[in-house]
Every structure is written in structure tokens, then in C-alpha cells.
Structure 1
Amino acid sequence: MTNQNFPRVLVTADHHFGHSSILRMGRAHFTDIDTHDEMLVAAWNAAVRPGDEVWHLGDFCYRCPPERAAKVFARLNGTKRLVVGNHDRGARHLPWASQHEGFVDTVLEGQRVTLCHYPMRAWQGVFRGAWHLFGHTHGLLEDTSQSCDVGVDRWGYRPATIAEIRARLAVTPDLPEERRRAAERDEGGDDA
């Protein structure tokens, strides 16, 4: 039986709070940016309990007035950590529990993970089962058995738990490119 009070780790990306142009890029079903932002806040809080930890992999808000960004941020459940994305100039001033440039290589709920706003073709530990979680592409790139787009466009506009990510990866048969190419090379033999 799962302890419902135990803090969980969730990962997400690409909310684009306050970014009205995002409505023309795959989110046209929202009537306006206020409706968009309210729905994303509701989806976040439905998925995240107050004691949970949330890693946001960039593009939290864009062209969003600082006061608006602060109000949205304050309404979101959980301890929030940022891995900076290309549209996070306006998010840097928010009271994140931690902020990271580039990527973070860490362990979340017993799983080694490389967190980055951008998708990678290779990452540390890939041959030993490490995952890579990313955003930025808004669902344009396919997952592999060890890498996953955690952007809200792929997860019902909400953060995903490590258990949910694990379940998605378990049914994704494609190996990461580096592992697949190494296997192809090794199968072909070394004639040199």
C-alpha cells in the first residue's frame, strides 16, 4: 500500500505562463491567456500536493509581467526547482528552492536522471540505465526507453510523477540513439 502522505517528486516543463503567443503554437483550444494560465494552475495543483518536490525544466513563463509571474508561482503547490530554459528570463526572480543552468545530473526516487530543458542525444549513465528528462519541443520528439519529454503538452498540462514517467518509459521500446548506434556497431563487428 502506498503512503499517500509521503512527498513525491514530479517533473514538468513548458508552462509558458503569461505568453499569449503560445496559444498559436498548439494551444489554440484556450480562448485567451488568462483561461490558459488558470487551467494550468488548476492542473498543477490537482497533481502536486503541498509537500511534493517539482522540478520545472524550463519555460515557466515568458513575456509575463513580474507581478503576474509571482502571483502564479505563489499559487502552485510544492517545493519548486528550476532548470533554466530559453524563455526563463522572467522566471529567475521567483523564489525557487534552487535554480540550475544547463543540466542537472541527480537521483530522483532512486533513479539516476539527467534533467535539461533541451533534449540530448547522449547523456552520462545512459549505458547504465540513467534517464534523460527534457522539455522544449512541445511533444515533437518521440520518447525512448530512457528519455522522456515531460512538457505539459505531453502530460495533460500537469507535472508527471516519477512513477508515471517510469510506466511510460517501460512501454517505449526504442533505445536512446547512442545505445542503438553502439549496438548496431557491435553487431556489425570491427573489421578495421
Structure 2
Amino acid sequence: MTAEPTAKHGCRWPVPPQDGYTVDDLFTLPDLPPHTELIDGSLVFVSPQRDFHSTMIDLLVAGLRGAVPKQLKVRREMTVVLDRRNGPEPDVSVVRAEAVTGLEQTRFEAADVLLAVEVVSPDSEARDRDTKPHKYAAAGIPHFWLVEMAGESGHPVVRVYELDPLSKTYALTGIHHDRLKLGVPYDLDLDVTLDALKEL
């Protein structure tokens, strides 16, 4: 790997290998920015996030952890290895408890993930709405949520999807504006109103 200097700042950016990066590169390249993802062999750097993104993740993590059964764990912003060339970082994941191996852990395998959640940001709309759901489904992750701001008030909307194991695609099972009341991946009853978000 070589690096090219930029004229403006004197920084050196990594030049990708001819066949693109692999998951191994994602965990060994020095000085990558926090929350770098690997999509189709390309490194994706994350822009500064809006307050909606951060507080919505906090709201979901707190709610999911408050109801999680012992055999599962809730994690935020951890890489999920889908295959050799894809290591996205869902905003929230629900994983099998036995997949949590210690405080130095940096990744989970797709087979250990029951739910992947993406909170849409302006810089990641296409990835969150299209690229990542297709890849999560192809990797067999059973549940996917897409969370967005909606309407003039900017209230949260949670779209809930479930995997069709035959077609390896997600089917929409519900759109939730105020309460997220579900029986899968486990029993949940979460307040996802704008007021609940503003209390954080």
C-alpha cells in the first residue's frame, strides 16, 4: 500500500490495493479514523454526526438493553464481518451472548447477529437504505431496522424488516412512529417519540 500526499493539508491518504481492501486490512491499517467501514472492498469514512443520530442510538440501546434476554447482548457501533470484503458497522446490533469474547473485541461475525440497526445520516442515506440492508440480508441477519427523521418536526420513524430466508431479502413488517412494540427478535415496548429523544 502506498499513500498520496494532499496538496492542501500535507496528509497522506492510503491508496487501495488493485483488488480493494479486505476485512483483515480494516483491522490492521494504521491511523484509520474511528468508525471506518469496509463496503465492497472500499474504506468508508464517517462524517461528523448530527445530534439526532447520537441520541437515537442512545435511546435504542437503552430500550433494547432494558428488555434483552440473557442469551443476547446489545452493542453499538461494532464492525460486523459479512464476508472478506465487507465489514460494515451497524449503529446498533443485537448479538448472541456467547459471541461476546472480551473487552478487547473489535468485531462480530454475521452469524452471531440477530438484529442490525441503521440510523440514517445525510452522508449515509444510500448506504443505510440500500447497500447495507441488501448485504445484511444476503449474510443471513434475521432482523433489520431503519431509523429516520420524518416530517417537519423531525420525529423518529422506525421501519422494521424481517428476513425471508428463501429469497435472502427483507420484508417490511411495520412502520413505527411513537411506540416500537414487537415480539421479535424479543419482546420489546419502546417509546420512540420525539419527546423521549429530547429527554436524553
Give the TM-score normalised by the residue count of structure 2: 0.26
More strand as a share of residues:
2
Tell me: higher relative CO, structure 1 or 2? Use CA pairs within 8 A at least 6 residues apart.
1
TM-score for both structures, normalised by structure 1: 0.26
Structure (1/2) with the larger helix percentage: 1
